[in-house]
Amino acid sequence: MKATELADSLGVSIEKGLHEKEVQKRRRNVGSNQLQEGKKSSVFSIFIKQFQDFMVIILLVAMAFSAWLGETLDAVAILAIILLNAVLGTVQEVRAENSLNALMKLSAPLAFVLREGEWKRLEAVDLVPGDIVQLESGNRIPADVRFIKAESLSIEESALTGESIAVDKTDEPLQGTNIPLADQRNMGFMGTMVVRGKALAIVVATGMKTEMGKIANLIQTAETMETPLQRRLEQLGKILVVVALLLTVLVVLTGIWQGQDVYQMFLAGVSLAVAAIPEGLPAIVTIALALGVQRMIKRNAIVRKLPSVETLGCATIICSDKTGTLTQNQMTVQKMWVPTETMDVSGVGYQPVGKFVRSGKEVIPTEHSSFCRLLEIAVLCNNAVFKQSEEWQVDGDPTEGALLVVGKKAGLEKSELLKSYSKEKEYPFDSARKMMTVLCRSSKGQQLAMVKGAPDILLDKCTHYLQNGKVSRLTDTVRKQIQSQNDLMAKKALRVLAFAFREGRFSLSQGVRTVEEQLIFVGLMGMVDPPREEVKEAIERCRIAGIRTVMITGDHQATAEAIAEQLGMRRSFGLTLTGQDMATMKEREFEELVEKVDVFARVTPEHKLLIVKALQAKGHVVAMTGDGVNDAPAIKSADIGIAMGKTGTDVSKEASSLILADDNFSTIVSAIEEGRNIYDNIRKFISYLLASNVGEILIMFFAMLGGLPIPLVPIQILWVNLVTDGLPAMALGVDPAEEDAMKRSPRNAKEGIFARGIGWKIVTRGLLIGLASWLAFWVAYTEPGSDLTRAQTIAFATLVFAQLVYVFDCRSETTIFGRNPLSNRPLLLAVASSVVLLLVVVYLPSLQPIFHTTALGLRDWVLITVTSCLPVIVAGLLDQVFRRKQMMATASAARNVG
């Protein structure tokens, strides 16, 4: 629509604005111009919700039984664990809901509004559709607007659309339907920033109806995914309860059948039930995750949600935003061309360090007359400011900033050039002319018009060209060379600017069209938002680890594909899809195609969310990285959302699970390695805890079957569960990563906690530990002159030592000999502490009556040592035989295929 037609449809006069009564009426209909919060749960209700988890309910039951048995210390420990987990869960949920508050901060606080023929500065919250607003450089746009008049207008929209450079705007109507957000050149969106020019605009949407409001709604409605670890622990809790209750009931009934005292068997049964449920498991998981978080902080990864650490370990796809994540979000000049000569420029970003290379040799560009003039025009025909605080920064248009940086690399600074050239007049860039011109006067009194602009437009204004300091007439042959060079740079996804000048006498009252004619062409500059140097290697490491990286960007298709090629992201059969392509596809059609796509370009926030959900529907564990407001909904819905710490908006950070403090994509690889190691360690201590608990139950069961007395009293079972199980299990949580951590494929997110042989290991080791402990008890009890207390003490000590030997077997999923036992010092310390505590219980007279123990002699310790080592020795031999049979079967199958 034309601006006048739009004004008529909105019932507003462009000259006078809205009447106050009409404003009140519209506000009642559409509400205030602010983002609305969804219904929020109170902190107390979030805290109470933490106790609805199945494992927590079981722990509450275990706590009640412990208190009933008089084991106050055990009950208090379980209660502390439950409260710790509840507090951590509450903090995480409250933080997650803060993303909308961060989004609200992007709204403009004030706006310059036309009401009843007068311009007023009002709070942006008071705007309604139809309001006429005025915008200028430095203003944040207060609502979604359509431009009525745009003068040299350029808007920074990267946080919303992913566009890596400021967008030039127009007040002209656009043709077509379903125009992508980033291509709506006559529109301005709430929260984006005016970096150049000024405009008159009409408000077309406010509050939750704006594009920013749509994102706010997506954040509110986006589901927070339950992590694979949370799902597996819930599954584990249910299995443990069923198995523990069955085994405990079996032991109690067997004991009663053998003639044991009913009350004593009931107490023993309750003790076994409490022991069988590893109440320390949630605490040890929390501690393992927390220690992993500390290690990741040292590697510049800040974790906001503890379970997400482990989730990274099974990520199969990383969906990465381009601008600011894969690239530096700092436009950089890479090529300069003057007729017949090319110069490459090294260095990336705003750091003014780099070399100029021509024909393979490093040169000084200012010693070449044409390149020197090209750089002078780039620096002087420029309104950006290049400055250094902690780091080099650009205030103004990123493209103009790139021109100042390349000038400084060559030794040309604007402040120094202005001593030789004084600016007399500027004709600002506008979207119609696509050029900018400044009139300068040299120290010798000579007047120059310096021009930069779009190559195709500027070239039409040129009649001559500069070559080796000489001005020659621009022939068709040279014109074709210039066009060819422009096309070559564009194919490499470089943004190309052309530069020209004109000498003469100019009146300051002259119109721009008179000045910008009969120009002398100087050259071209090609620039790009360069990839981060470390990203290519990081993507390759991901590929080796079985993780695919997909680019999702709001930028142009050609630019996205060029960056993907440079980074090695594209597969030979990989496809590129644009937002427009997605808009024409049915949901099922898109889901069938999504795994074949390596690059998504020109997408909206809704598209990003759709991509994440489609990949999740295909069974992928998705990590989503980004830094802009437009990334926030997808970041929140991904299995793990990753935000940039330096360049990321508050909105993206608050929606994320992980923040990269250094904005370094390679930090994700380190985090994935850490996540894999943490999950490996969780499996290790689950294997340790459950096999130990199985051993405790089976020693009682075997004794009941054999008609023997109870080998362990309740206090001994609870002591083993609290002390012997807890300390070594915590130490397993900090076990160093195995060498192949990043050389194996991601595990299946649906994989059970007992997959890959862990279930078999728990059963066999538990059985062997139970048999060995029962054997020691049987030998001691049946010896002539032996008493029950001595036999129970030997069984108690054997069980403890068998578990402490088994903890070293848990460090490898293959064999106890697979890893150096001295490489985990905390584990050695934990084992030593458990041994010392056992000796204290056995030999300290004041504790002997409490724990039903007696002092043991050397002969007893020989029996304990031999029997406690038997489980690992037997298991090791069985594993060797099993692996040998597997290898022989594999070799035989290979021969048959051959």
User: For the chain, what is the radius of gyration of the CA atoms?
Assistant: 36
- 525 or 192, higher pLDDT: 525
Has residue 444 got a pLDDT over 60?
Answer: yes
CA distances from 444 to 421, 448, 502 (A): 9, 11, 16
- pLDDT at residue 338 in the model: 96
| Annotated domain spans of the chain | 3-30+103-221, 43-97, 228-298+675-897, 309-327+533-663, 336-514
Backbone angles phi, psi at 264, to 5 degrees: -65, -40
- 228-298+675-897 belongs to CATH 1.20.1110.10: yes
Has residue 281 got a pLDDT over 80?
Answer: no
Same fold, 3-30+103-221 and 309-327+533-663: no
- pLDDT at residue 106 in the model: 43
Residues 95 and 654 sit within 8 Å (Cβ to Cβ): yes
In 3D space, the residue among 612, 197, 643, 573 whose CA is nearest the CA of residue 397 turns out to be: 197
Structurally, at CATH architecture level, domain 3-30+103-221 sits in: Distorted Sandwich (2.70)
474: confidence class by pLDDT, cuts 50, 70, 90: very high
Taking each helix axis from N to C terminus, what angle separates 788-809 and 858-897, rounded to the nearest 10 degrees? 40
Alpha helix positions (H), 277-397: 281-298, 307-311, 369-380
- pLDDT at residue 107 in the model: 46
pLDDT digits (tens, 9 = 90+) for 716-740: 876 787 677 777 888 887 788 777 7
Decide: helix, strand or coil at residue 107: coil
531: confidence class by pLDDT, cuts 50, 70, 90: confident
Mean pLDDT of 55-79: 69
User: How buried is 405 (Cβ within 10 angstroms: 0-12 exposed, 13-18 middle, 19+ buried)?
Assistant: buried
**Separation of alpha carbons 404 and 380, rounded Å:** 9
Has residue 432 got a pLDDT over 80?
Answer: no
DSSP bridge partners of 119? 114
Has residue 4 got a pLDDT over 50?
Answer: yes
DSSP bridge partners of 194? 155
- Candidate ranges 607-621, 654-668, 687-701, 880-894; pick with highest mean pLDDT: 607-621
268: confidence class by pLDDT, cuts 50, 70, 90: low
Mean pLDDT of 451-471: 93
Has residue 368 got a pLDDT over 90?
Answer: yes
Mean pLDDT of 425-430: 86
**Separation of alpha carbons 700 and 114, rounded Å:** 86
- 354 or 290, higher pLDDT: 354
- pLDDT at residue 103 in the model: 41
**Separation of alpha carbons 449 and 299, rounded Å:** 52
Instruction: Write the CB contacts of 116 (distance below 8 Å, at least 6 apart in sequence).
Output: 16, 17, 18, 19, 20
- 503 or 877, higher pLDDT: 503
DSSP bridge partners of 525? 336, 497
In 3D space, the residue among 819, 818, 843, 821 whose CA is nearest the CA of residue 830 turns out to be: 821
- pLDDT at residue 100 in the model: 39
- Torsion sign across C-alpha atoms 787, 793, 799, 805: negative
- pLDDT at residue 94 in the model: 63
In 3D space, the residue among 373, 340, 369, 381 whose CA is nearest the CA of residue 516 turns out to be: 381
108: confidence class by pLDDT, cuts 50, 70, 90: very low
- Candidate ranges 132-136, 229-233, 604-608, 693-697; pick with highest mean pLDDT: 132-136
Has residue 194 got a pLDDT over 90?
Answer: no
pLDDT digits (tens, 9 = 90+) for 538-578: 899 899 989 999 999 888 888 888 889 989 999 888 999 99
663: confidence class by pLDDT, cuts 50, 70, 90: confident
- The pTM score is 0.66
- pLDDT at residue 555 in the model: 80
**Separation of alpha carbons 321 and 192, rounded Å:** 18
Decide: helix, strand or coil at residue 799: helix
**Separation of alpha carbons 487 and 449, rounded Å:** 26
The CATH code that applies to domain 309-327+533-663 is 3.40.50.1000
- pLDDT at residue 220 in the model: 66
- 388 or 200, higher pLDDT: 200
The CATH code that applies to domain 336-514 is 3.40.1110.10
User: Which residue type is seen at 576?
Assistant: T
259: confidence class by pLDDT, cuts 50, 70, 90: confident
Three-state SS annotation for 83-97: HHHHHHHHHHHHHHC
Has residue 508 got a pLDDT over 90?
Answer: no
- Over the chain, what is the mean pLDDT? 83
Mean pLDDT of 641-659: 78
810: confidence class by pLDDT, cuts 50, 70, 90: confident
- 607 or 749, higher pLDDT: 607
- 61 or 152, higher pLDDT: 152
889: confidence class by pLDDT, cuts 50, 70, 90: low
pLDDT digits (tens, 9 = 90+) for 603-644: 887 888 899 999 999 989 999 988 777 788 888 889 888 988
User: How buried is 287 (Cβ within 10 angstroms: 0-12 exposed, 13-18 middle, 19+ buried)?
Assistant: middle
590: confidence class by pLDDT, cuts 50, 70, 90: very high
- pLDDT at residue 233 in the model: 67
- pLDDT at residue 99 in the model: 42
Residues of the chain above pLDDT 70, percent: 84
Decide: helix, strand or coil at residue 551: strand
Has residue 130 got a pLDDT over 90?
Answer: yes
Has residue 897 got a pLDDT over 60?
Answer: no
Has residue 27 got a pLDDT over 60?
Answer: yes
Which residues carry out catalysis?
Answer: 321
Has residue 97 got a pLDDT over 60?
Answer: no
- 802 or 823, higher pLDDT: 802
Has residue 93 got a pLDDT over 60?
Answer: no
- pLDDT at residue 814 in the model: 62
Instruction: Write the CB contacts of 708 (distance below 8 Å, at least 6 apart in sequence).
Output: 777, 778, 781
pLDDT digits (tens, 9 = 90+) for 307-340: 676 677 788 999 988 877 788 888 999 999 999 8
